[in-house]
């Protein structure tokens, strides 16, 4: 403790203590292990399902950039403590800031988050993410951009943002748009949950390893002494399995998904699904329609356009566009659905959000357009500026079925 003369703690002393406390918190929330030339980063907020706070994001960004410059580091492994890899960004502090009129603080949060996503998408060294549990929202941004993504029988993947009045961000418009057919639109709009086998099948995961084999796998990865990803790939291939999809898996319905989710508008997607339901009624179609009907109309419309634009853009432009969208969502001038969705799902938990606009047809194209424009009238606002990066590896989305 720093104490000023006379026993009173001065401003500088208080700031120093606060800085030290923040560092200690971020260090305990991201655990670091060193095994020869391998670094293991473990997200350590298990009671919060490893939800990302700003301190964790800043710490991860610092570590990944430092390891990239350190010639002794050849491989980085990222995993989560407890039953989640990462359930996403911690939304409640953002909502508190927005309600208090400080939406720019929420924008600062995603500035760091999207910068980290971009670093991972352009990382020059091999990264392995072990997804042995829940992977949602921001957790997908931490892992899917990396070279190797290991799913297990415990993996549960989802992008549930439209139920919260948000949209699939963290570069999701880049990776969802590269899934087979229109499966990305289905996953992004409905918030459908995928298991490890489905992640492998559609390409979100590169490997599937039973959780009982993870300890042995990690022990072999610790022996890696090169940044050549082919050596890591050889190790992973020796452990990987190809599990059968469950009978009720949505991936068996790619033909229906492509017919419906290829439609131009959200209204036309729902109409196509209703048409399929009249020909062959089943639980999957009715569940899909209900998910779309319960989601925020504004979120559905901006999410569909975002994924469609993502097909034609690289990851950098996707993140810059998503930053514009996030700022408009946080500012709340077009719709306040993000605050309302978080209230209904995360705070009051009545699961009965009052969306505004209430109907899809009330969310006009001109309103959707505004989310994709600069926040011109806000003093000091700028587009997201991403670090210049030399290494831009192509995201490997390879469907296994």
Kindly list the catalytic residues.
89, 138, 161, 169
State the greatest distance between any 2 C-alpha atoms of the chain, in Å, as a whole number.
83
CB 272 within 8 A of CB 186: no
Pair of tokens at residue 378? 């806000």
Geometric angle at alpha carbon 31, from 26 and 36, rounded to 5°: 135
Residue with tokens 């319960």: 294
C-beta separation of 257 from 183 below 8 A: yes
Paired tokens of 33 = 């292990």
Secondary structure (DSSP) of 342-396 = HIIIIIS-------SS-SGGGS-HHHHHHHTS--TTSTT-----PPP-S--PPP-
Q: Quick one: which of 53, 59, 40 has its CA closest to 90?
A: 53
The span from the CA of 148 to the CA of 133, in Å, is 16
Query: At 281, is the secondary structure helix, strand, or coil?
Result: coil
Q: Which of 66, 55, 52 is nearest to 123 (CA)?
A: 66
Report which of 37, 71, 186, 169 is spatially closest to residue 111, judged by C-alpha positions: 169
Judged by phi (left if over 0) then psi (alpha if -120 to 50, else beta), residue 142 lies in alpha
């Amino acid at each position: 403790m720093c104490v000023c003369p006379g026993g009173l703690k001065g401003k500088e002393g208080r700031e120093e203590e606060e800085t030290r406390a923040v560092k200690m918190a971020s260090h305990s929330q991201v655990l670091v292990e060193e095994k020869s030339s391998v670094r293991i980063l473990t997200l350590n907020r298990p009671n919060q399902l490893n939800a990302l706070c700003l301190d964790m994001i800043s710490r991860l960004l610092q570590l990944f950039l430092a390891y990239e410059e350190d010639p002794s580091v050849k491989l980085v492994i990222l995993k989560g403590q407890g039953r989640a890899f990462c359930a996403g960004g911690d939304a409640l502090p953002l909502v508190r800031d927005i309600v208090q009129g400080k939406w720019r603080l929420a924008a600062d949060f995603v500035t760091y988050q999207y910068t980290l996503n971009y670093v991972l998408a352009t990382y020059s060294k091999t990264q392995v993410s072990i997804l042995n549990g829940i992977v949602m929202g921001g957790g997908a941004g931490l892992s899917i951009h990396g070279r190797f993504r290991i799913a297990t029988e415990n993996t549960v993947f989802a992008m549930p943002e439209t139920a919260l009045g948000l949209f699939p961000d963290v570069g999701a418009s880049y990776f969802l748009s590269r899934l087979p057919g229109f499966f990305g639109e289905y996953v992004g709009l409905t918030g459908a949950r995928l298991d490890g086998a489905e992640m492998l099948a559609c390409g979100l995961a590169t490997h599937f390893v039973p959780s009982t084999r993870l300890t042995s796998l990690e022990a072999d990865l610790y022996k890696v002494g090169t940044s050549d990803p082919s050596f890591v790939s050889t190790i992973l291939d020796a452990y990987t399995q190809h599990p059968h999809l469950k009978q009720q898996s949505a991936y068996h319905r790619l033909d229906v998904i492509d017919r419906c989710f290829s439609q131009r508008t959200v209204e036309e997607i729902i109409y196509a699904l209703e048409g399929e339901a009249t020909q062959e009624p089943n639980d999957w179609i009715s569940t899909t329609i209900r998910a779309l009907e319960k989601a925020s109309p504004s979120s559905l419309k901006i999410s569909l356009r975002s994924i469609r634009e993502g097909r034609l853009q690289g990851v950098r432009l996707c993140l810059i566009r998503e930053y514009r969208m996030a700022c408009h969502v946080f500012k709340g001038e077009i719709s306040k659905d993000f605050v309302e969705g978080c209230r209904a799902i995360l705070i009051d938990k009545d699961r009965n959000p009052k969306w505004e606009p209430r109907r899809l047809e009330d969310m006009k194209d001109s309103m959707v357009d505004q989310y994709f424009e600069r926040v011109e009238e806000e003093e000091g606002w700028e587009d997201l500026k991403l670090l210049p990066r030399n290494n831009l590896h192509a995201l490997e989305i390879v469907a296994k079925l």
